Amino acid sequence: MMKNLTVSMILLIMFMMALPGYTLADGTIPKTNIDQTFIYPYEDRDDAEFYIQYGGSGKESIGKTFVGLFINGSIIKNANIITENNRTLLPIRIVAEQLGAQIEWDGKTQKVTITDANAKRKIELFIDHKNAKMNGKTFKMDAAPQIIHHYTYVPLRFVAEALHAKVAYFNGKDLSQPHILPRLPHVMISRYPSDAKMLSKEAAIAKLKQELIIAYEQKFGKFIPLGKSEKPGQDDDQAILRDVITHLKIVSENDRYYVAPVMYDFWIDKYTGDIYTFYNGLTMSIQSFDPYADQALSFPG
């Protein structure tokens, strides 16, 4: 009996860790799911199929009105975000569950109940009514929840206020806005525990430099930092890489990743230290960086 219970508990923990937005009780942040993601974004062309390929586990067609969703740095499949009357609407079940909350539906009363133990909140929503309840107290939403395609949709602002999360919207064009990807409209939702340990920029650069040096030495031999008086030649790949590795720096960041340009962007996960390459070609790609791979320093484009 005890053996079966132990196995069941292990399986439950493994399942919960697989949820992109799930956080362990001790504040440990699990890996994100972005490795092997390929995106061909809609950009007013009608000559091809536009899509997102999710880490080898499914493909979603995207069109002119598509808005992506990231929660704690993971990309969420089939989020089906809607823009209506200049307001961004999200399916609350997907968001709540990714943040570790429980959600219940009462068909008779048309009520959605969200129990969020992490934020110590119980939220009651009523379809087509702006008045809602939080921990028994009534408050007014700026737009009533509504059922669309069998899901309860709420305004983006509600997620920030009710689930105590940070939210940001990127229009796909203005790079001064918080964003994870360029060229693709998306919503970013994040909520990390207060005891989660985040890498400093200095630690992130040190980790990236260490892995790039490993990759360099696998291909070229011993790494020697580029001297102050040295200038790499235009066609000298070794010297160019030595220069880039010697002068690595963080140029931007979002809630989950630091961004450092090499030949193209490298992302360093602020919480796990995982490193990814981001190639901003016609098809954008996000891939885990393996410094020991034969093609680790082979850059397309």
pLDDT of residue 118: 86
pLDDT at 124: 97
The stretch 108-120 carries a mean pLDDT of: 94
User: How does pLDDT run across 129-165, given as a tens digit for each residue?
Assistant: 999 999 999 999 989 999 999 999 999 989 888 999 9
Q: Which of 60-64, 207-211, 276-280 has the lowest mean pLDDT?
A: 60-64
Which of 254, 262, 248 is closest to 204 using CA atoms? 248
pLDDT of residue 300: 67
Tell me the per-residue pLDDT of 157-203, one tens digit each, with 9 for 90 and over. Answer: 898 889 999 999 999 999 999 999 999 999 999 999 989 999 999 99
189 burial type by CB count under 10 A (0-12 exposed, 13-18 middle, 19+ buried): buried
Q: pTM, whole model, 2 decimals?
A: 0.88
110 secondary structure, DSSP code: T
Question: Averaged over 52-81, what is the pLDDT?
Answer: 94
The continuous run of DSSP H or E covering 120 comes out as none
Q: Tell me the per-residue pLDDT of 4-46, one tens digit each, with 9 for 90 and over.
A: 444 443 443 343 444 454 444 456 899 999 999 999 999 877 7
Q: Please state, in angstroms and rounded to a whole number, the distance separating the CA atoms of residues 33 and 37.
A: 8
pLDDT (0 to 100) of residue 17:
43
Does domain 20-190 bear CATH number 3.40.50.1820? no
Query: CA-CA distance, 190 to 99, in Å (whole number)?
Result: 8
Q: Where along the chain do its domains lie?
A: 20-190, 201-288
The interaxial angle of helices 201-220 and 237-246, nearest 10 deg, is 160
